[in-house]
Amino acid sequence: MTAVTGESPVQEAPVQEAPAQEVAAPEAAAPLAGNGVLGQPLDSREDPQLLRGEATYVGDIDLPGTAHMAILGSPVAHAKILSIDTKAAEQLPGVLKVATAADFTDVMPLPCIWIPGGVESHFPPHPYGLPGARPVLTGDAVRHVGDPIAVVVAETPRQAAAALAAISVEYEPLPVVTLAEEALKEGAPQLHEAVPGNLNAYWTCGDKDRTDAAIASAEVTVELDLVNQRTINSPIEPRGAVGDYNAATGEYTLYASTQGPHNHRFLLAALVLGIPFNKLRVVAPTVGGSFGTKGYLYPDMPLVLLLSKALGRPVKWVDTRTGLMNSTVQGRDHRQHVTLAGTRDGRITAVRATSYANLGAYPSTIGPGVATALMGRSISGMYDIDAAFCEVYAAFTNTVSLGAQRGSGRAEAAFLMERLVDRYASEIGMDPAAVRRKNLVPKEKFPYDNGLGWTYDSGDYQLNFDRAIELSDYAGMPARKTEARTRGKRLGVGIASYVAICGVGPSTRMSKEGMLGGTWESANIRVHPTGEVTVTVGSASTGQSHGTVFAQVAADELGIDPDQVQVYEGDTLKAPYGQGTYGSRSYSMAAPAVALTARKIKSKLVKAGAVFLGIAEDKVVYAGGKVYEEGNEENTKTFAELAMAMWYGWGLPPEIEPALDETTHFDPPDFNYPFGTHVAVVEIDELTGETEVVAYTAVDDAGNIGNPKVVLGQIEGSILHGLGQALMEVAEYDDNGLLVSRDLNHYALPRAFDAPFFTLDKTTTPSPHNPLGAKGAGEIATVPPAAAVVNAVVDALSDLGVQHIDMPVTPEKVWRRLRGESQ
Amino acid sequence: MDLSLNVNGRPEQFAAQPNELLVERLRDGLGLTGTKVGCDTGQCGTCVVQLDGRSVKSCLILTAAAAGSEVTTIEGVTTPGGELTGLQEALRQEHGTQCGFCTPGMVMALGELVGNTADREAPTEPEIREWLTGNLCRCTGYHSVVRGVQRACSAAREKAPAEPATTAASGQEGSGR
Ligand code: FES
Ligand code: FES
């Protein structure tokens, strides 16, 4: 990412960057014929508006006549609802409506569209009857604290909130279970009548017999019991929704903090409300971060629409932070029993994982898939392992529903594998870097079938790994450890490598994975008569500068100035279909759709150019934003001239339609697989047990990068997010199922002083699966930090016999270890 | 009760409930939605505005308690679509904002730090991080914000003709804490 510092006048930028190693994979994508604006660190054009506070988030939308909704969430984790009395609330000033489940009996429950094990058996029919699906409001029982029971709509937000207190609900308490492993035991509290034993899915991948045999006959085996604690993404903007029903036209509009407006339109119109698809418009205004959480369907979305229709006014709901903590999907939450087998000289021969995934009270939109396939198929990481097997028990408990969390699934996988590798290295007395180096999938083996269901597209893992080891001064660590001791600190170093599946994805492949719905992306390019260009995409940004980056893609392909290109997205009325921004897929799914569409425009211009220039088509050259005659550049037409000529449409033969307006639906042949290696160096204070990350090196490979400045920001943010899980973040439930970490006083998010310097670099192996050679980038750097940090902490404490420490690595936990107490 | 405030240089008079928060007055009462609400507990800093020149969390102060004061919100910092301040421009160049939800609060909090930087030592990197403690950002990891502040301070000092042209190099020392 040298380009980033290259243009910075602040010479001593805190990010230390080394020269990037450019590595072209043999199957590199077609070279770009463009003008070179792609790959440049252009300033984000979204930023000025954001810096002036001018962007409109859902909470800023103020439609005339808006009424305000508040949601009554359950105060207890598990109980039967005996009665609900809303009369007193209805009498309060400003209250327009109080509604309960009884008001929505004809509304379908919120569907889960990622059903582990495949959808063939579910499609059709729809997952209407999916066992345990969440109703818009619960009427029979509550299953987690915050489970929505009733709503109030009033003239002001304060009146709506105040009226909640006047609703009286009679509960019959039921026993509570908050851990997946406990929920599966004989006699555990039962959440859903239709789901005996609380088991949503038992899911496996890999070869069990082969793996068991390899482990049974191995020279060395190591085992770990791991807790990948539940965390809360906590985007800084809580969710919100505004419903606006137009009685004159019968059209519904939903403004929501969503990362997938088209998806939400599909789910709401087709699966929940049963209203005509063409009468629902979903608009994502500026969205204040998501990290996976805002792709899910929540009760508030159908509720604001239905209540707007009932009241004849726009209905607005904006969540509080505490509300977010108790309603927006949470992440991770696996308890795992994992085994690794290998030879005495460091060759890994098998890995096996049994994981108990806590799905929470209801299956969220895609939570069950995140907890199974997204985690399990990744567990072998960067290593060439002969036998691997993973099984997941996904269980319901009395906690908030599980969903995606930046790096979801893949971070959990990397954590288990990278902890195992360190444990193995220590068992055989070999350096952890040497063990990793020895087992990396060799370059010649790509495409590489990992035996767990993924086929890695491309990579040079050795190069990437060596770069990280060298940059982090791994060789210098023994000396630094000795030096740290003189200051009362224990220094530890931890490595974590990863492969992250991104670019979701091939629709057919995802259907086999259990995804109900396509996972393609589309883009439309319209060239206006004046030569300006509008790009619309189905994806929707939650802070990834799409307006800048997609303009770069189109401008590069068309050979024009990016300032000529305007990008629109986020409004289903205006944008072509698409599935949205999740799993780091926008740049490897939507951007290729833009590039391919631009190529359609170009090839049409070559055809039309032949007519306008009066030459044969094979003599037409398109370059630098114009067409000209090969060998005679005088005979030329600029992009603007062509745009106008196509608009007039004069003289075009019948096989060339006038105007320039093209669309592409991009469904790649397979996923893409970014990867990388991170090295964390920590210092632990002997007296207080406090862990400080004193150095952090990350070398990631996201294929060809569209805008290094944008990606740099995402990498930095992602690393800190991962460090947060390692050091401080945990969603803690007490025995009664109360979420103790219910606000930001009780849930620690990393602050500015928690971030160490990062030393960043990249390698570049293009993906063969899209025309840009792109791989996912946005969240990939969240995948390894937790493992790197915990490995470093264990390294620092290894002489005390510490073999593992659970996250978050709090000072108290470490302090107890320093005093010789066990976990 | 009837109250008055001077907001972004404009006198405002209104009737307010005694328990009304300043952020409610600004957002709902005056339509100044640049100030954001990100939490219920005074932890996130998205609601920071300047009250008589000092940055405060507007979700932690009653309108009544602010009565008679000068309030500057993000809307008072620039004109719509207008030129960015030095700090905003530096944050733009360093891409110190992603989703932008934390950004107005950051600009208001950092404005106080950067504001008088021309006539003092540039803040060190740990100082900037310390100053940012009250503002949460989940997107950027803060690095680009810190770089933005350093850039803004350098630019401000270069503009100040009396000062010798020192750089923000002191901000680069230390361990990053
Ligand atoms: S809204 Fe004021 S600190 Fe969070
Ligand atoms: S830019 Fe999104 S929270 Fe800071």
Contact A53 B143 (CB under 8 A): no
Return the higher-pLDDT residue of A504 and A617.
A617
Question: Smallest Cβ distance to B172: which of A14, A157, A716?
Answer: A14
Q: Which numbered atom of ligand 2 lies nearest the CA of B98?
A: 1
pLDDT one-digit tens code per residue, A523-552: 999 999 999 999 999 988 999 999 999 999
pLDDT one-digit tens code per residue, A99-109: 999 999 999 99
Residue of A nearest to B86 (CA): A51
Q: Is the pLDDT score of A2 beyond 60?
A: no
Residue nearest to atom 3 of ligand 2 (CA): B137
Decide: residue A85, CB within 10 A, 0-12 exposed, 13-18 middle, 19+ buried.
Answer: middle
Binding-site residues, ligand 1, Cβ < 6 A: B 37-39, 42-47, 57, 59
pLDDT band at B147 (very low <50, low <70, confident <90, very high): very high
Q: Distance (Å, rounded) from C-alpha A695 to C-alpha A290?
A: 28
Does residue B99 have its Cβ closer than 6 Å to ligand 2?
A: yes
Contact B46 A709 (CB under 8 A): no
pLDDT one-digit tens code per residue, A664-714: 999 999 999 999 999 999 999 999 999 999 999 999 999 999 999 999 999
Q: What mean pLDDT is predicted for residues A722-746?
A: 97
pLDDT band at A8 (very low <50, low <70, confident <90, very high): very low
Q: Which numbered atom of ligand 1 lies nearest the CA of B134?
A: 3
pLDDT band at A20 (very low <50, low <70, confident <90, very high): very low
How far is the centre of ligand 2, averaged over its atoms, from the C-alpha of B94 (Å)? 14
CB contact A55 to B (< 8 Å):
yes
Q: Is the pLDDT score of B87 beyond 70?
A: yes
Query: Over A587-639, what HEC string results?
Result: HHHHHHHHHHHHHHHHHHHHHHHHHHHCCCHHHEEEECCEEEECCEEEEEEEH
What was the pLDDT predicted at B116? 62
- Nearest-10 crossing angle of helices A785-797, A410-428: 30
pLDDT band at A35 (very low <50, low <70, confident <90, very high): confident
Which of B35, B94, B95, B132 to mutate against chain A (most A CBs within 10 Å)? B95
Q: What mean pLDDT is predicted for residues A753-782?
A: 95
Which of B28, B40, B106 to mutate against chain A (most A CBs within 10 Å)? B40
Q: Which range among A14-23, A377-386, A682-691, A774-783 shows the weakest confidence by mean pLDDT?
A: A14-23
pLDDT one-digit tens code per residue, A196-217: 899 998 999 999 999 999 999 9
DSSP state string for A693-706: EEEEEEEEE-BS-S
Tokens of A593: 């759709």
What was the pLDDT predicted at A514? 86
Residue of B nearest to A322 (CA): B40
Question: Smallest Cβ distance to B93: which of A43, A710, A714?
Answer: A43
Q: What mean pLDDT is predicted for residues A321-345?
A: 97
How far is the centre of ligand 2, averaged over its atoms, from the C-alpha of B102 (Å)? 5
Q: Distance (Å, rounded) from C-alpha A593 to C-alpha A544?
A: 17
Yes or no: say if A322 and A741 are a contact pair by the CB < 8 Å rule.
no
pLDDT band at B117 (very low <50, low <70, confident <90, very high): low
Yes or no: say if A100 and A107 are a contact pair by the CB < 8 Å rule.
no
Contact B73 A758 (CB under 8 A): no
CB contact A545 to B (< 8 Å):
yes
Contact A751 B132 (CB under 8 A): yes
Residue where the block lists tokens 């550049």:
A633
What was the pLDDT predicted at B40? 87
Q: What mean pLDDT is predicted for residues B84-108?
A: 97
Q: Is the pLDDT score of A31 beyond 50?
A: no
Report CA torsion sign: A305, A309, A311, A314.
Answer: positive
Q: Average pLDDT over chain A, rounded to whole?
A: 93
DSSP state string for A447-512: SEE-SSS-EE----HHHHHHHHHHHTTGGGHHHHHHHHHTTTEEEEEEEEEEE--BS---HHHHHH
Q: What mean pLDDT is predicted for residues A72-77?
A: 98
Does residue B38 have its Cβ closer than 6 Å to ligand 2?
A: no
Contact B103 A60 (CB under 8 A): no
Q: C-alpha distances in angstroms, A676 versus A695, A788, B137?
A: 17, 12, 25
What was the pLDDT predicted at B161? 57
Q: What mean pLDDT is predicted for residues A351-375?
A: 96
- Contact list in A for residue B176 (CB cut-off 8 A) is 14, 694, 755-757
Residue nearest to atom 2 of ligand 2 (CA): B99
Instruction: Name residues 13-42 of chain A within 8 A of B (Cβ).
Output: 13-15
Contact B36 A288 (CB under 8 A): yes
Report CA torsion sign: A796, A797, A802, A807.
Answer: negative
pLDDT one-digit tens code per residue, A563-601: 999 999 999 999 888 888 888 889 999 999 999 999 999
Q: Distance (Å, rounded) from C-alpha B59 to C-alpha A492?
A: 41
Instruction: Give the number of the ligand closest to the Cα of residue B57.
Output: 1
C-alpha closest to that of A786 among A499, A501, A495: A495
Q: What mean pLDDT is predicted for residues A402-410?
A: 95
What was the pLDDT predicted at B174? 32
pLDDT one-digit tens code per residue, A284-316: 999 999 999 999 999 999 999 999 999 999 999
What was the pLDDT predicted at B170? 36
Instruction: Give the number of the ligand closest to the Cα of residue A234.
Output: 2
Q: Distance (Å, rounded) from C-alpha A667 to C-alpha A589?
A: 8
Instruction: Name residues 584-613 of chain A within 8 A of B (Cβ).
Output: none
Sheet holding B10-15, edge to edge: B10-15, B2-7, B70-72, B48-51, B54-57
Contact A51 B84 (CB under 8 A): yes
What was the pLDDT predicted at A583? 82
Contact A11 B167 (CB under 8 A): yes
How far is the centre of ligand 2, averaged over its atoms, from the C-alpha of B97 (Å)? 6
Per-residue burial over A654-685, b = 16 or more CB atoms within 10 Å of its CB, e = otherwise: eeeeebbbbbbbbbbebbbbbbbbbbbbbbbb
pLDDT one-digit tens code per residue, A473-520: 999 999 999 999 999 999 999 999 999 999 988 998 888 888 888 899
The shortest C-alpha distance from B16 to chain A (Å) reads 13
Query: Which DSSP state fits A102?
Result: G
Q: In terms of pTM, does the model score above 0.90? A: yes
pLDDT one-digit tens code per residue, A445-469: 999 999 999 999 999 999 999 999 9
